[in-house]
Structure 1
């Protein structure tokens, strides 16, 4: 009776203890004896459990990858931002590996594996989590970089365009260092001994890092002094092109032959940098050659018409331009045209130059002004030789020519010079006041006329 009473008293306690068992132990208790047999150090049910959790992890990874691709495609399609259009569809792929590794980690804690097998498998799972975590952080850095790049493209300042790629590389280096430390801790690598070993080779590393330090200082020089920015047209030594990328070590320039030239940033400390992209104005200098048959008044009218075109064109600098008759050449009269454009890029400069030159051509046609081209005039003197022969055959003419005194020739020359001076004085007095010196040239910044011709 006492035994039966003790049994009745302890039964609830035993049931309570059984109910307080972990879920894994309660499930193990329900496993039939056939699956408890051992194979290669593990029971059959443990092998089946490992296979089951592997399949569950792969299924979870596949579902997550499919769902994340749909989310990314929807995000890219509805963002309407150029910076996000180049993001890959599998942007969130690494986090699927983390979900799979997490399921495997739960399975390892559920299967009650032997200590040796558990340590090996849990180490592999932690390594997978570390790798996928670093990979996922890399992808998040790319996403943050796209966000920064979009906002930097909305500003007129080019400095942030050069800074955004450097921020991206800095974050990736930081993620790499943290990831290596985490992986080393997961694999139980002694970092203290590793760092001590690196300290022994510090001198050799410092010598090898000389170029790295110079390139880093070159990068700092570019950013602090704003030598150039991404998109600028630069000339560095014999390299000419557009800056595509600025990194910690080098600068990539795309030449006008569509090739890529990589220059170490250390060169920027000592090499001259001609930044064409920082030009406030783009100069154009040319000479228009008019024919010698062009009257002086028409030359003056043509020059004033060119000045009016300059004053009317919207991109042309109105406070500094020169259009003057500037010289005589072998085949024509030279008109100097010296102007500037305030354009944001080369394509706009070419378009405005095209319009300007066409308007000059239309003006010349309207004023009946002809442009000169290289010509050569040949004089035929056969008739003059025949006249000389006739004079030699006529002695009376020869004698009369020899009787002209030299003084008469000099008097005629002096009279011609006096007439030339009087003519020159009359010409100058027609448009100048000889008693008052003209004021220096001042350029009118307002158009003389409100009518614009041939401007589109």
Structure 2
């Protein structure tokens, strides 16, 4: 029975080759158990992160290499046509180079994540995803080129063909390239961060995500606006969240019946109001109240104050307006509204030409 041949090999040889592959799988399972029970806890106890990175980088590629080795031994102990053996050898040369490339890709990924993933202030480095993807793409391209070169592929001719195709691809994907560079610009220049409220062109809202191709903003209607990155980098951006305080300008008007003393009282009331309203700056340099003009129907007052960063803009504005109204009413100051006074001149009656006697 064991001497019976299948595709030029005895049943015994087929069973031995299968057992070799099974043994390789069992060894991989034992390595996984050893890593989980012994090696991983051992590396976690050390303060140095480098051993964790090396363990993370080597474990999966090493287990994959054992499987490859088991299959290679199992195949080469059987009898096959030379053409088939040559194809298998070429595939294995490619897989071995790609497995080594996998080690370097995981190593670079782990080093970036541990040593560059967080800034000195403890925040996540927002440049990490782009840099990580770029390095991984470069590593895998180099590995693939080396793998193809290892089996005799003419890399120069291949690169020439890819170069012509790359030009056509670049022309077709120029907007995508602009968006990628736009994302790189946004993450390096940092005109805003996720969570900031910004304004550019006619759009204003809160940034909720900065991606490779686009940035997403939630406007005040709770709608998500997706904008290509290059359009943002080409625009003037106002970062509302970065302002230390919000400047508010009010134009008030009092009636023409207001005396000079009452006008001075109104200005004094306005300058004292920031001390009464929470989250309004009471610094003398941040409060301006001036009598500005004689308009058609009012004595104009310009009032400028600043809302502190932690204050709710709408709530503080409402509180300040309420205080102005209550204080002016208490002081007997009247707000002006558009009025017009018409003076009619009455003519003298004409002489009817009669001569009095």
Structures share fold, TM-score greater than 0.5: yes
Q: Report the CA distance shift for 1:193/1:236 in structure 2 as closer, same or farther (over 3 A).
A: same
State the match for 1:338 in structure 2. Answer: 304
Instruction: Work out the CA distance in 2 between the residues paired with 1:204 and 1:191.
Output: 20
Structure 2 counterparts to residues 209-228 of structure 1, below 5 A: 210-211=174-175, 214=178, 218=182, 226=189, 228=191
Q: 1:368 to 1:183 in 2, by over 3 A?
A: same
Among candidates 206, 210, 217, match of residue 254 of structure 1 = 217
The corresponding residue for 1:175 is 139
Residue 160 of structure 2: which of 185, 188, 196 is its match? 196
Whether 1:302 and 2:266 are equivalent positions in the alignment is no
Q: How many residue pairs align between the two structures?
A: 319
CA change 1:199–1:366 in 2 (3 A) is: closer
In structure 2, relative to structure 1, the CA distance for the partners of 1:193 and 1:220 (3 Å cut) is same
Q: 133, 139, 154: which is aligned to 2:121?
A: 154
Aligned mate of 1:319, from 279, 285, 291: 285
Question: Superposed, which structure 2 residues align to 1:90-169 within 5 Å?
Answer: 95-96=59-60, 98-106=62-70, 108-109=72-73, 112-114=77-79, 116=82, 119-125=86-92, 143-147=110-114, 150-152=117-119, 154=121, 161-169=125-133
Equivalent residue for 2:210, pick from 238, 245, 259 = 245
Structure holding more helix per residue:
1
CA gap 1:220/1:335 in 2 versus in 1, 3 angstroms: same
Partner of 2:21: 54
Change (3 A) 1:66 1:287: farther
Deviation, 1:288, is 7.0
> Normalised by the size of structure 1, how large is the TM-score?
0.50
Q: 2:330 aligns with which of 355, 364, 369?
A: 369
- Structure 2 counterpart SS, 1:254: strand
Q: What is the root-mean-square deviation in Å for CA atoms of aligned residues?
A: 5.4
Structure 1 residues 365 and 133: alpha-carbon distance in aligned structure 2, compared to 1, 3 A threshold: farther
1:185 Cα offset (Å)? 3.8
SS of match in other structure, 2:226: strand
Q: Is the 8 A contact 2:116 2:125 kept in 1?
A: yes
CA deviation map 1:291-350 (0-9, x unaligned)? 99999376355323214347x85867663332456789999998654223453xxxx342
What is the TM-score of this pair, normalised by structure 2? 0.61
Deviations along 1:412-451, whole A, 9 cap, x unmatched?
xxxxxxxxxxxxxxxxxxxxxxxxxxxxxxxxxxxxxxxx
- Can you give the 5+ residue segments of structure 1 that lack an aligned partner in the other structure? 1-33, 79-90, 378-401, 404-456
Shift of the 238–318 alpha-carbon distance from structure 1 to 2, 3 Å rule, reads same
Match of 1:230 among 193, 198, 201: 193
**SS, match of residue 217 in structure 2:** strand
Task: Please give the alpha-carbon distance, in whole angstroms, between the structure 1 residues aligned to 2:248 and 2:111.
Answer: 43
Structure 2 contact 197–204 (Cα < 8 Å) conserved? yes
Sort the Cα spacing of 1:353 and 1:293 in 2 relative to 1 into closer, same or farther, 3 A: farther
Q: Distance in 1 between matches of 2:284 and 2:34?
A: 60
2:248 and 2:305 in contact (8 A); partners too: yes
SS at match of 2:119: helix
Task: Write the distance in 2 (CA, Å) between the matches of 1:218 and 1:374.
Answer: 52
Which 5+ residue runs of structure 2 have no aligned equivalent? 46-54, 340-347, 350-357
Instruction: Tell me, in whole angstroms, the C-alpha distance in 1 between the residues paired with 2:169 and 2:99.
Output: 31
Distance apart, 1:361 and its partner CA: 4.6
Q: 2:315 aligns with which of 344, 354, 376?
A: 354
Measured after TM superposition, the shift of residue 163 of structure 1 is 3.2
Give me the whole-angstrom Cα distance separating, in 1, the residues matched to 2:101 and 2:199. 39
Residues 233 and 332 of structure 1: CA distance in aligned 2, closer, same or farther (over 3 Å): same
Contact 2:201 2:236 in 1 (8 A): yes
Distance 1:97 1:155 in 2: 32
